[in-house]
Structure 1
Amino acid sequence: MKLTELVAWLDAYLEVEAFEDASLNGLQVEGGEEVTKVAVAVDSSLRTFEQAAEVGADLLIVHHGLFWGRPLPITGTHARRVKYLLERGLSLYASHIPLDAHREVGNNWGLARILGMTDLEPFGRWGQQHIGVKGRFPNRISLRELADQLEKELGESVLVHAGGALEIETLGIISGGAAREVVAAAEAGLDAFLTGEPKHEVFYDAFERKINALYAGHYMTETVGVSLLADKLEQEFGLATEFILLPTGL
């Protein structure tokens, strides 16, 4: 498949122009003209690029790209990363907020479906757009059961701040670094809020606002979107795909 055709499809499908974002969403580094295999990963790093090349990928799709809101000189570590991609003809495509928010292959809606939630609705805003999701469980679930399910599905220990009732029905989800949105979740009347990593400055909000907060890892909560997008590319175009797992523990 032509790289230009696949990039055009990704741009439209992920609606990359709809979101204000520091990330340079879309094609960040152009490699070869043809794509027969796509690797997906959460982060951009030299090790990620090396593994993508090792599995024979022509295109690497990441959640966290190389370019964030300001020009960077092509020197040092940044230069080594870009040079590696160019020398091997490996293209790099990034989708940050668009892949958080997408209702089919996004981190948040995807995780809600993995957890078996129903009555899904948009929750949490990023500028003028919704980024997260809220919903309910068909049957009330204990906080411990939910944490155990998350650990089973994502493979990461879950930190729980049990500020609310120990039996929950409703949950809001925003992956990654959205700890401050526990306030919005409490104001929305939700029983619990799930994100990736905690923030010291909002530690007490969960307890004072009587809502449960669960932290399942910035990295692991953002493996969902790239994995679902890989599945979509296989179904849509018959492309071979491979997920590159390089957990940060954060």
Structure 2
Amino acid sequence: MNSQDPTPDNNQTPTPRHTRRRAAWITAAVLSAAMVGLAGCAATASPATTTSPSATSAAKGMPGGGAGGSNVRSGPAAGGSSGTVDTVTASGFTLTTSAGQKVTVTEASSTTYLDGTSSTSASAVEKGDSVLVLGTTSSTAITATQVVVQPGGDGGSAASTAAGVVPFKQGAPSSAKSNGQIPANYTEGSGTIVSGTAADKATEAALAAYPGGVVDRVVQLAGGEYEVHYIGVNWPHHIFVSQDFTVLGAD
């Protein structure tokens, strides 16, 4: 017998080296599988985390997000703007708001027109007219549901100055201020996007008090008030309107 080989006692049989290696490999594989399983269980058991939509909505016009995502703007929403007509085409017109924002308005066969409070037609819209536009808004483009020609209007410039609207300037930080009453317990991104008559009335009220920008969505808050989301100006960014469509304040 080779002197390097272990000498077995009378009660044990030596284990071949290849058998020991196989046992070690099996043990390592089992431990590895167990660790992967534990990691999988830990990943499954970890509570899901949701990134706050407000953190991704710092840019003007980007939507915030509310509980359940009800305030997440995934596409065009009800809104509008007001200003002075620049050009008129067969498909619509362009306007400039009192704060200098350029807006493109597309008309449809279902678009209605008012001259003051009287019904009229698309031909009533002419260059230089002061108009209020309500409709489906995507950034600075509006598909009009209603166009109101405001006789003797100036595009809202006087009201804009009085309200303290801050025109948008590239690279300039947004003003951090508030005016009037902010609904109690208001949280940016909360509420539910609305459309129809309620959105139109809230938009019209907000634009009358703070002309110069573009309303790109209207959100109803838990208390029943409306948050009118404003873009195209450095201030305000939110305009708050009561359930009876009276402007409460802005921030």
What TM-score, normalized to structure 1?
A: 0.24
Structure (1/2) with the larger helix percentage: 1
TM-score normalized with structure 2 length: 0.24
Larger Rg over CA atoms:
2
